[in-house]
Amino acid sequence: MPALQARGTVDTRSPSYKWLVLSNTTLAVLLATLDGSITIIAMPDIFRGIRLDPLQSSNSFYLLWMVLGYLIVSSVLIVSLGRLGDMFGRVRIYNIGFIIYTVASLLLAVDWMTGQAGAMYLVVLRLVQGVGGAFLLANSAPILADAFPANQRGMALGINNIVGVSGMFIGLVVGGLLAPIDWRLVFLISVPVGLFGTVWAYLKLQELSTPHRARVDWLGNVTFAVGLILIMISITYGIRPYGHDATGWTSPRVLALLGAGVASLIAFVWIESRQADPMFRLRLLRIRAFSFGTLSTFLAGVSRGGLMFMLIIWLQGIWLPQHGVDFTQTPLLAGLYMLPLTVGMLCAGPTFGYLSDRYGARLFATGGMLVTALCFVGLWLLPTNFNYVLFAAILLVMGVAFGMFASPNRAAVINSLPLADRGAGSGMNQTFQNSAQVLSVGVFFSLMIVGLSTSLPHTLSAGLAAHGVKAARAAQIGRTPAVSVLFAAFLGYNPIQHLVGAHVLGALSLHNRAVLTGRAFFPALISGPFRTGLQTAFGFAIVACLVAAAASLMRGGRYVDADGAAARTHATDRTGAPEPTAGGAGVAEPVGATGPVRTQAARAAPG
């Protein structure tokens, strides 16, 4: 602690210090989330740059792991890194994350290989980058909560969380701008920003928590990591075809991986219940505000984790080409056309975070999930070739609903945690969120593939035969795995020329050849099967949103942990007055609050 204080002259009791912390942690969260989506939108240029064929179903492994590997690593490590922050200092662990993230971003930009070797290089470095992101995400919220008094914490966490969530959609625009110039720029752009954040955090951030040394739960870490990794690997194989099935969920390999993963997680829970210093502090689940807040976080992640992929496929592979946009230009425009979602989140997050400070999280978080369900109904009802004004309006309202849920819910979860457990508890919440996003992608893709496979073979073969392709060849092409067609649409790639072959195309009339290889034929061909799959996926999302709303409603009244509140009684509000406490219990009651605030006495049986 003295060494940390010697680095700078920042007075942590100054009202300006908390805003400094908010600025730095928000930059970190923005970086960590932006890189999850910037890669998604840059995939067409990355695949072309390293000369990897997206229509080979085996290459779907590299595509998924370039995107999901980042989230998987975060899910595996974030709880442990939150615990390390509690044990050795949150600022110290956070600063290490900036360094790892920045170095990995630089190395990603210097991939010199092509084909599967180049793809594997990117996958491995993306995993390393995910390690750095996990360091940042695990400790940013606890550092922020330490710096802000309880009556402003919802607003601060709201800004931090919504900027982070918005980073996923901002990355779409940034990636769409940079990738056509050079795909390496999507990784290189993070290097100067990461360097700036590293130096800024090291010089200015100071440790406000009191580290508590404890033994590392190695057995719990290993069983948790093995369980999650095996389940994630099973998802990547589950969406690939197996035998005559469109997906691989019935294959022995997937079933074995899934079973082993679940068994490992069951062993993890058993181990944690018997550890003196567990990785997952299961006793925190006795706090009703924390357990139901975390459950609603997980269910919300499941409902919307695959949404970005579905919208990108819809815009990039179908809607934009149908409106005359060349496939090489669709990535940037897809990102721009999804901006209403970002605008809604950026406007709603801080607003509802502030309101939750005054009135509690339950009403806003529950309402946010109900509105999200209605927005999914709106997307479900839209035709594939929709009117953009209506589409943008739905996205805007959905963005507001995301902010309405995310900011109050996160603040309520953090406020409910004892001060010494904020790192571990925040990591648990983030783990559930990241795991839900990966699970959601697997579910959405599986439902989409099942929906596509019901009508795509006939639609594809009939469409080709109608334009001069011999029936036998058309039927053979119609048996192309649905996952390959789906990834082609996801990458904004017209696969017809590749599927039909130059020899067959050369034998067709000029008119038929122009139609088949034009930008309208493939999107129009798959729009019907795609709508079937999309409605199936959105139906699942609607159910998940409603269950998340029910879980949020059961969180109970407002609850602020007494230990965390008492530790910040030295903080001052804008007038310089000490932060008020309620009933002498050391509980910070939000300014302007109405109704009771639950205290430490409720911890054993909250609600």
pLDDT in tens, 41-89: 888 889 888 988 766 767 777 877 887 788 788 778 887 888 788 888 8
Residue 588: beta bridge partners? 581
Does residue 419 contact residue 561 with C-beta atoms inside 8 Å? yes
Cβ–Cβ contacts within 10 Å for residue 36, how many? 23
The residue with greater pLDDT, 598 or 491, is 491
Maximum CA pair distance of the chain? 87
Q: pLDDT band for position 1 (50/70/90)?
A: very low
Across residues 180-201, what is the average pLDDT?
Answer: 92
Q: Do the domain assignments include residue 259?
A: yes
Domain count, the chain: 1
Q: Among 200-204, 248-252, 427-431, 461-465, which is the least confidently predicted range? A: 427-431
For residue 600, tell me if it sits in a domain.
no
Judge contact between 573 and 149, C-beta under 8 A: yes
What integer pLDDT is reported at residue 13 of this predicted model? Answer: 62
**Is 422 contained in some domain?**
no
Find the range with the poorest average confidence among 13-27, 71-85, 254-268: 71-85
380 — pLDDT class (breaks 50, 70, 90): very high
Please indicate, yes or no, if residue 224 is contained in any of the structural domains: yes
Provide the residue range defining the domain that includes 268: 217-276
Residue type, 457: P
Lowest-confidence region among 147-156, 410-419, 482-491: 482-491
Domain assignment present for 222: yes
pLDDT at 563: 54
Cα three-residue angle 300-308-444, rounded to 5 degrees: 70
What is the rounded average pLDDT of the residues 320-342? 85
| Residue 48 falls inside a structural domain | no
Give DSSP secondary structure letters for 403-463.
Answer: HHHHHHHHHHHHHTS-GGGHHHHHHHHHHHHHHHHHHHHHHHHHHHHHHHHHHHHHHHHHH
Beta-carbon count within 10 A of 267 CB:
17
Assess if residue 257 is contained within a domain. yes
Q: pTM (2 decimals)?
A: 0.79
- Residue 315 · residue 442 · CB < 8 Å: no
* Average pLDDT rounded to a whole number, residues 298-320: 87
Residue 367: its pLDDT value, please?
95
Residue 246 in domain: yes
pLDDT at 548 (0 to 100):
94
Show Cβ contacts of residue 10 under 8 Å, excluding neighbours closer than 6 positions: 17, 20, 204, 206
150-178 vs 339-359: helix axis angle to the nearest 10? 170
